[in-house]
Amino acid sequence: MRRGLSSSEREPVSEMWIVDTLTRLIFGDVDHFDSRESLVIDAFRSVDANVLRDTPAQMGDYLRNLGVREMIHLVTRIRTQIDSDASAMLGDATAGLATLHRRGTL
């Protein structure tokens, strides 16, 4: 049985959530990630080819070597990627609903 999302997991991903997730990676706290943290990690892999196939521990090593400006830029790129993915998913869902409506099945 699939569990429902907690109220905190249903909220939009903020820059603070991104920073918190990256901080967990930096400090090696990589045992378990909730759905929002997994979303951040997936977006990180999407925006930086250097970590595409890395384990979370390797991603933490990579992050430890970034400067402050690089980290700020990375957070912005991750946020943009997450927002872009959400917009694409919403567009796909809207198109699907329009198709069902045209077919008279909705």
Residue 4 placed within a domain: no
Residue 72 placed within a domain: yes
Residue 7 placed within a domain: no
Q: What is the spatial distance between Cα 46 and Cα 97, in angstroms, rounded to a whole number?
A: 28
Residue 2 placed within a domain: no
How much is the pLDDT for 11?
A: 60
Residue 8 placed within a domain: no
pLDDT tens-digit profile of 27-79?
999 999 999 999 999 999 999 999 999 999 999 999 999 999 999 999 999 99
How many structural domains compose the chain? 1
Question: What domain range is 80 assigned to?
Answer: 13-103
Q: Do 15 and 79 meet the contact criterion of CB atoms below 8 Å apart?
A: yes
Q: What is the spatial distance between Cα 24 and Cα 18, in angstroms, rounded to a whole number?
A: 10
Token representation of residue 75: 């957070």
